[in-house]
Amino acid sequence: MRTNGLRVAAAPHVLHTRGIGSCVAVAVYARGHKMGGMAHISRGEKEDDLPDENLHQYADHAVAALVRILCARIMGQTATGRDFTACIAGGGDMFEGLLSAYPDVGGANVKAVKSALDAHHITLVGEDILGGLGRSMWFDLSTGNVRVSCAGQPDILLGQ
C-alpha cells in the first residue's frame, strides 16, 4: 500500500505497507471476523481551509473510514470501534536537524492517530513508534498479528 493509502480485507490476506518514516501505519482488526484494515497516514488532523483531496492522509479521517468500512462489512451485526483493536508503527523523527520548520512531525502524527483511535473507542494493543528509522509493516488477517521491520533491526511482532 502506498503512503496515504487505505485498504480493508479479510483472511487470508496480508496487508503491507513500506516506507513508514514520520508517517504512521495503523492496523485495525475485527478479531471475531478475521477482518481488518490498514491506513498509511502522513498527516494529523485536516484543517478546515485545506481542500478535501485524499482525506485518508489525515489521521482523523483515515481511522473514521476504517471503522465505517469495517462496520459496514460486518453484516447483520451492530459493530462499533469497541469491537476492534489496533496496532501502530512509525512516527519517526526523519527530519531531525534538517527542517526546523517541521518540529517532530512524527510525534505529532502519532499523537493524532492515538487521538483518533481513542475517539472511536479502539483499543491500542501494540506499537512500534518514534525513533529515527524507517519501517515496513505486514498485517496478517488470519491471525491479527502485525510484523514491523526496520533495516538492520530484528523484526517486531505486535499482537492483536
pTM over 0.85: yes
128 is in which domain, residue-wise? 6-158
**Highest mean pLDDT out of 34-48, 80-94, 109-123:** 109-123
Give the CATH number, domain containing residue 90.
3.30.1330.200
Q: Which of 125, 38, 58 is nearest to 87 (CA)?
A: 125
Number of domains in the chain: 1
pLDDT averaged over every residue in the chain: 88
Q: What's the pLDDT tens digit per position in 31-63? A: 889 999 999 999 877 666 555 667 889 999 999
Residue 111, burial from CB neighbour count under 10 angstroms (0-12, 13-18, 19+) = middle
Is residue 49 in some structural domain? yes
Asked whether residue 1 is domain-assigned, the answer is no
Does residue 97 carry a pLDDT above 90?
no
In a domain, 10, yes or no: yes
Predicted pLDDT at 8: 97
Domain assignment of residue 117, yes or no = yes
